[in-house]
């Protein structure tokens, strides 16, 4: 009778250990899958962020060139604006634009 109880107790302990081990392995697989999914997601987000940064860098360069061109255009027409404000004749305005 005592051996029977010991035997069944041992079988129950081994069964509980096996179930726990199986559950742990399954949970580990699910956790790894979730982590790999997160890694893929953040990798895609990193690629998108780098593409956006490159695009913004390009746009900033174009904007800067446009500002420089606009500044040069304003500097070129300033003599004309000053001459027009002072009421100089058209002949003198033509000479000013050549400068």
Out of 41-50, 59-68, 80-89, give the one with best mean pLDDT: 41-50
Question: Taking residues 23-29, what's their average pLDDT?
Answer: 97
- Note whether 84 and 93 are within 8 A (CB): yes
- Note whether 93 and 80 are within 8 A (CB): yes
Sketch the domain layout of the chain as residue ranges: 2-98
* Structure tokens that stand for 50 in this block: 């780098």
Please tell me which residue, 73 or 51, carries the higher pLDDT value.
Answer: 51
Predicted local distance difference test score (pLDDT) of residue 6: 92
Predicted local distance difference test score (pLDDT) of residue 75: 87
3 has pLDDT over 90: no
């Amino acid at each position: 009778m005592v051996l029977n109880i010991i035997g069944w107790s041992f079988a129950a302990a081994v069964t509980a250990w096996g179930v726990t081990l199986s559950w742990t392995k399954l949970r580990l697989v699910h956790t790894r899958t979730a982590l790999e999914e997160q890694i893929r997601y953040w990798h895609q987000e990193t690629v998108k962020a780098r593409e956006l940064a490159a695009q913004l860098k390009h746009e900033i360069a174009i904007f800067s060139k446009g500002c420089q061109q606009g500044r040069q255009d304003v500097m070129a027409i300033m003599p004309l604006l000053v001459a027009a404000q002072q009421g100089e004749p058209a002949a003198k305005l033509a000479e000013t634009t050549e400068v």
